[in-house]
Amino acid sequence: MKALGLLGQVDIPAQVAAVPRARRCVRGLLDGTDHPQADDALLLVTELVTNSVRYSDSGRCPAGRISIAVAVHDGTLHVDVIDGGSWSNRPTVRPETRIDSGGGRGLWLLQEVATAWGWYETAAGRVVWFQLDGK
């Protein structure tokens, strides 16, 4: 795959009903990239957007928004999910999480599937990001 930059950015309402829209938008951005882990990216975007809706200040505000930025560089897919953050909730993988857990698997899946991931605070809120190798 050739080197690409930013594929696009999507801004959605921080509502549960917007999670499928986030998947569709990211799928549209990934169309044509032939990235071998596109399906994994969609799964992880779904988990992160759901976490943003449930746990961030964006999800607690009626006008809250979530942004998703997607880029590919030298075969590595990079996705940022940006929300309002939360001082009471920090992205933490629960040590007791199992594959058959009824919930709380979002960051565990991220840790298991992504090549790399992390998070940081900005003036605008929190960014949770992940990367998937194109190999």
Domains contained in the chain, CATH given: 6-132 (3.30.565.10)
111-128 pLDDT, tens per residue? 999 999 999 999 889 999
- Average pLDDT value over all residues in the chain: 89
End-to-end CA distance of the chain: 10
Separation of alpha carbons 72 and 35, rounded Å: 9
Helix (H) or strand (E) holding 25: helix 19-30
Q: What pLDDT is stored for residue 2 in this prediction?
A: 45
Which tokens is 51 given? 């976490």
Instruction: Give CA separation, 126 vs 2, 84, 129, in Å.
Output: 30, 6, 10
| Band (99; pLDDT cuts 50, 70, 90) | low
| Percentage of the chain exceeding pLDDT 90 | 71
